[in-house]
Structure 1
Amino acid sequence: MTDAPSTPDLPVLDATQARVLGCLIEKEATTPDTYPLTVNAAQVAANQKTAREPVMNISTGNVQHALRQLEGMGLARQHFSSRAERYEHLLGTRLDLPRQQVALLGLLLLRGPQTVGELAARSERLARFADAEDLRHQLDRLQQRDLVILLPRAPGQREERFMHLLGGPVDAEALAASARSNAVAGNTAADNSALEARVAELETQVAQLQQQLEDVLTRLG
C-alpha cells in the first residue's frame, strides 16, 4: 500500500468561501448545462434553503469577492468565453484528488459534519461509490491527508461524523464537549418546559376551585 500524497499548503477558508466552493462542486455535477456558474447563480446556490447547513444569506458582492479569493488561492478559475463572469472550481486539480473525494468534500462544505450513511445518501448525484465500504475508504484517504477529521460520537448519536478541515484545524474534543453541553442544556430546557406546563395546569385548577368556592359562598349567603 502506497502512502497518500502530501497535501499542498492550503489557505484557510472562511464560511463564505467554503459555501461558495461547495456550491461550485455541487453544481458541476447536478446542473452541468449551467456550469461554470455566474456570480448570480453562485449566490442563489449559496443561499439555498435546502441541502445547506447552516442556511446563509450572502450578498452578491460577498459571493463575487469569495470567488475572486478562491481564484487567487488556485481553488477556482474564471471563464472569459461569455459576457457574464463564470467560475469553475479547481479543488481536484489543486489537491490532486479523485472525483469521489472532491464530492465528499463538497458535501461536507455545504452541510457540515455528517455520518457515512448521510454522505452515502446525499452523494448519489455527485459521484459513484461501489458501496458504503468504498465511501468509507475515500474518507479514510482524506483523513490521511488531513483534509477531514472523524469527530467523537456526540450524546444521542448512533454514528460518528466526519468534518472537513478546509476551514482550519478543529478541536474534536472541544466539539464533543460542546455537543454534550448542548445536550444537557436541551434536556434542562425540556425539563423546565414540562415543569412550567405542570405549574400552569395547577394554577388553572386552583383558579377553578376558587371560583367554585366563591359560587358556593354566594349561594349560601
Structure 2
Amino acid sequence: MNLTEQEVQEQLDNLVKRHFLRTVSGFGNRVTKYEQRFCNSEFGDLKLSAAEVALVTTLLLRGAQTPGELRSRASRMHEFSDMTEVESTLERLASREDGPYVVRLAREPGKRESRYMHLFLRRRR
C-alpha cells in the first residue's frame, strides 16, 4: 500500500471527525499525536470488557488466529486465566446483540483448532 502524506492526513481527519481518534497535545510536541477511541468512550456506543478489547485488538492487528494464539499474543493487554476464558470471551463477541464482532472460521484441513476473525471491516458506514 502506498499512500501520500495528504491521503493519510485526510483519513486521520476523518477519524477525528467521527470521534474514533483524538489529538493529543503536550508541551514541546513537534508533531501531532493521536489517541484511539476504539471503545468505552463517552462518544461511542461500543462497550467492551478488558478481555474483549484484548482479543479484538489482537485480531485487528494480526488477522485470523486460533484461541491459543490469541491467548499468547493478547497477554500484555489482558491475562487470561485459561483457554476456557479465551473461548468464552470469543463466544460472547460472536453472539452479542449489537454484533457479532468475531466469527469462528471452519477448521482448515490438517489443523487442530478453528481460527477466529474480526468482523469490523464489514461494519463500515
Residue 154 of structure 1 aligns with which residue?
A: 108
Residue 168 of structure 1 aligns with which residue?
A: 122
Write the deviation string for residues 167-195 of structure 1: whole angstroms up to 9, x where unpaired. 007xxxxxxxxxxxxxxxxxxxxxxxxxx
TM-score, with structure 1 as normaliser: 0.46
SS in structure 1 of the partner of residue 122 of structure 2: coil
CA contact 1:74–1:90 (8 Å) conserved in 2: yes
Q: Which of the numbers 85, 110, 120 marks the counterpart of 2:61?
A: 110
The offset of 1:88, in angstroms, is: 1.1
Gaps of 5+ in 1: 1-55, 170-221
- Which residue identity is paired with 1:156? G
The offset of 1:83, in angstroms, is: 4.4
Rounded Cα–Cα distance in structure 2 between residues aligned with 1:126 and 1:59: 32
- Which residue identity is paired with 1:90? R
SS in structure 2 of the partner of residue 155 of structure 1: coil
SS in structure 1 of the partner of residue 81 of structure 2: coil
Residue 91 of structure 1 aligns with which residue?
A: 38
* Bigger radius of gyration: 1
CA contact 1:92–1:98 (8 Å) conserved in 2: no
- Which residue identity is paired with 2:55? L
The offset of 1:60, in angstroms, is: 4.4
TM-score, with structure 2 as normaliser: 0.77
CA contact 1:114–1:163 (8 Å) conserved in 2: yes
Residue 14 of structure 2 aligns with which residue?
A: 69
CA-based RMSD of the aligned residues comes to 2.1
Task: Decide whether aligned partners of structure 1 residues 117 and 73 sit closer, same or farther in structure 2, where only a CA change above 3 A counts.
Answer: same
CA contact 1:91–1:97 (8 Å) conserved in 2: no
Q: Which of the numbers 84, 90, 94 marks the counterpart of 1:143?
A: 94
Write the deviation string for residues 43-94 of structure 1: whole angstroms up to 9, x where unpaired. xxxxxxxxxxxxx665544443333332233322222334421111112223
Rounded Cα–Cα distance in structure 2 between residues aligned with 1:156 and 1:59: 42
Whose helix proportion is higher, 1 or 2?
1
Rounded Cα–Cα distance in structure 2 between residues aligned with 1:144 and 1:121: 23
Gaps of 5+ in 2: none
SS in structure 1 of the partner of residue 110 of structure 2: coil
Write the deviation string for residues 128-176 of structure 1: whole angstroms up to 9, x where unpaired. 212111111211111112111111112222211111010007xxxxxxx
Rounded Cα–Cα distance in structure 2 between residues aligned with 1:59 and 1:120: 36
Task: Decide whether aligned partners of structure 1 residues 57 and 113 sit closer, same or farther in structure 2, where only a CA change above 3 A counts.
Answer: farther
CA contact 1:100–1:138 (8 Å) conserved in 2: yes
SS in structure 2 of the partner of residue 156 of structure 1: coil
